[in-house]
């Protein structure tokens, strides 16, 4: 019986202000330039708030309510509905500032006992790839994420993903040493070869189990759902459940951006009704069940190694590598400049400066500098 793992990536960045230099000069001319002034100049929080509030209304609140209702409806049945959320720290930070009701709907979902929270970096960042200090910075940002998850949800995650499913053997083994019991990443064709993503694997060099995303089934929902030119349009819950039931393997990891539900695909496309009815349709297939990552690795043993050397790091974006963030000279130069600042930032030992610098490690800043287009 294949276990369906639904995993939703929940994140909003702090977008940079294109008038950064102008605003810094304005503030300096007023006679003072505190760290808070610099942060206000660097980030466009008027835009950030507008985006957050819009997506809260279109996605975060309605989609999470639907999920919670489905969980409550299926509780104690033979086919309980379960999901997993990976929620960045900077997302929660913005929710606490601007939309506390978003935090509350996630808390109600977690309180059902049928939601697994996945650890990630607090800043949804490229911390792991900082030369010389990468794993030290990765550890610090993961621990910071752990603190806010504990504070808001009274929860200790044991499953983990690195930002945007970026992964290699060294990252996996480092995360195992931090105590994690399962790592989630992309099911990349060249890594899998003839093998299927729909099994539990083990990281090369250590023993941590690895779950690999089925990108085809994930992208059917994440990218193709509202594409009227797609030969499978429209995608209904019963059609998708039937595809899942005919997919061989032990586990099917369907992982998408949470904004899929109401923002990337607007409510009028039927995406929220798809989310509402999918658990019902899955429950009608006798060979399917929902599970969380922890449950899957407790039920199924790894069948083989998932071997990704550090010079071939993978992700879930575009060509399944790091090129979406570090593929051009502009991205590489900006990242190198940011990395060079780290020892000085750490030496200052001022939390507000450290936080400002870490917000600049958010992966979205580098993604917005991409000059290529990737496959969907």
Residue pLDDT, tens place only, 97-154: 999 999 999 999 999 999 999 999 999 999 999 998 879 999 999 999 999 999 999 9
Q: Quick check: 20 pLDDT over 90?
A: no
Relative to beta strand 200-203, strand 209-213 is antiparallel
What value does the mean pLDDT of the chain take?
97
Q: Quick check: 202 pLDDT over 60?
A: yes
CA angle, 171 as apex, 345 and 132 as ends, to 5°?
Answer: 35
CA angle, 127 as apex, 5 and 182 as ends, to 5°?
Answer: 30
Average pLDDT of 233-257?
99
- 137 among known catalytic residues: no
Walk me through the domains of the chain, giving residue ranges and CATH numbers: 3-367 (3.20.110.20)
Q: Which DSSP string do the residues of 57-81 spell out, in sequence order?
A: IIIIHHHHHHHHHHHHHHTTSSS--
How many CB atoms neighbour CB 65 within 10 A?
A: 15
Write down the residue that tokens 């994930």 correspond to.
Answer: 218
Q: pTM, whole model, 2 decimals? A: 0.96
3-state secondary structure of 314: strand
Non-local (6+) Cβ contacts of 75 within 8 A are 112, 114
Alpha-carbon distance 38 to 229, whole Å?
47
Task: Name the catalytic one among 80, 116, 164, 176.
Answer: 164
Q: Quick check: 369 pLDDT over 80?
A: yes
């Amino acid at each position: 019986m294949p276990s369906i793992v639904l995993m939703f990536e929940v994140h909003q960045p702090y977008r940079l202000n294109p008038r950064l230099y102008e605003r810094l000069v304005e503030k300096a001319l007023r006679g003072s330039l505190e760290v808070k002034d610099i942060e206000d100049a660097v980030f466009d929080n008027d835009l950030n708030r507008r985006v957050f509030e819009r997506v809260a209304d279109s996605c975060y609140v309605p989609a999470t309510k639907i999920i919670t209702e489905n969980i409550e409806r299926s509780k104690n049945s033979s086919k309980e509905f379960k999901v997993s959320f990976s929620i960045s720290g900077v997302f929660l930070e913005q929710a606490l500032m601007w939309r506390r009701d978003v935090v509350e709907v996630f808390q109600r979902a977690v309180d059902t006992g049928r939601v697994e929270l996945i650890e990630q970096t607090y800043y949804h960042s490229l911390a792991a790839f900082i030369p010389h200090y990468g794993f030290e910075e990765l550890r610090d940002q993961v621990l910071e994420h752990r603190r806010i998850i504990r504070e808001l949800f009274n929860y200790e995650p044991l499953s983990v993903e690195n930002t945007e499913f970026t992964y290699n053997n060294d990252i996996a083994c480092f995360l195992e040493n931090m105590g994690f019991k399962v790592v989630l990443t992309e099911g990349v064709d060249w890594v899998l070869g003839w093998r299927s993503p729909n099994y539990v694997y083990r990281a090369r060099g250590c023993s941590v189990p690895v779950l690999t995303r089925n990108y085809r089934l994930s992208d059917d929902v994440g990218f193709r759902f509202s594409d009227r030119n797609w030969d499978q349009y429209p995608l209904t819950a019963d059609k998708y459940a039937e595809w899942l039931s005919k997919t061989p393997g032990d586990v099917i990891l369907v992982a998408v951006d949470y904004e899929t539900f109401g923002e990337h695909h607007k409510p009028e496309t039927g995406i929220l009704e798809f989310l509402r009815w999918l658990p019902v349709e899955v429950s009608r297939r006798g060979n399917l069940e929902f599970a969380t990552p922890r449950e899957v690795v407790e039920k199924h043993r790894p069948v083989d190694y998932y071997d990704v050397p550090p010079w071939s790091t993978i992700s879930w974006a575009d060509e399944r590598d790091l090129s979406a963030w570090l593929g051009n000279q502009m991205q590489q130069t900006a990242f190198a400049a940011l990395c060079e600042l780290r020892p000085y930032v750490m030496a200052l030992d001022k939390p507000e400066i450290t936080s400002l610098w870490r917000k600049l490690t958010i992966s979205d800043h580098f993604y917005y500098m991409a000059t290529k287009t990737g496959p969907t």
